[in-house]
């Protein structure tokens, strides 16, 4: 049924649950897995809160975030390979996380997106937004959401 499944992960315990489900689904379908991590860019203007950091500090912080993202993807790849699943890992730098997930799914010709949701409600959801909700409303692909 599915030939290529994109799983979005940030390394959190909740996203690890999504990774486990995506690997299981890929195993059952004989599908390839595309593991994606979106690394935000560091705020670069005063109003974003970066007034006290030099460009070198920002570059160092972004490098650390990229290294952490790669470690997360390496762990996913190891787990997928141990299950016999073919995997491709992708890191994208973007402040528009949901949009990056949808675009990566299109770019890598995925049949499905698997991701986690924190299940925020009320004012927290309003203030923090919902990347999952954005993916659900903007993706043309099926989206499996795990909590």
For the purposes of burial, counting CB atoms within 10 Å of the CB of 72, is it exposed (0-12), middle (13-18) or buried (19 or more)? buried
Q: Where are the domains of the chain?
A: 11-146
**Whole-angstrom distance, CA of residue 144 vs CA of residue 147:** 10
Coil, helix or strand at residue 6: strand
The CATH code of domain 11-146 reads 3.40.50.620
Q: From first to last of its 147 residues, what are the pLDDT tens digits of the chain?
A: 899 999 999 999 989 999 999 999 999 999 999 999 999 887 655 555 545 678 888 888 889 999 999 999 999 999 999 999 999 999 999 989 999 999 999 999 999 999 998 755 555 444 445 788 889 899 999 999 988
């Amino acid at each position: 049924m599915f030939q290529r499944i994109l799983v979005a992960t940030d390394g959190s315990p909740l996203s690890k649950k999504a990774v486990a489900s995506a690997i299981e689904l890929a195993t059952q379908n004989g599908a390839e897995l595309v593991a994606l991590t979106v690394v935000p860019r560091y705020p670069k203007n005063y109003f974003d809160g970066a007034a006290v950091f030099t460009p070198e500090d920002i570059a160092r912080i972004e490098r650390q975030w990229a290294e952490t993202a790669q470690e997360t993807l390496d762990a996913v790849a190891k787990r997928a390979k141990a299950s016999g699943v073919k995997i491709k890992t992708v890191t994208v730098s973007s402040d528009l996380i949901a949009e990056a997930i949808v675009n990566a799914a299109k770019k890598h010709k995925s049949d499905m997106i698997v991701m986690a949701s924190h299940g925020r409600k009320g004012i927290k959801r309003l203030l923090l937004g919902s990347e999952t909700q954005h993916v659900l409303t903007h993706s043309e692909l099926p989206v499996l959401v795990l909590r």
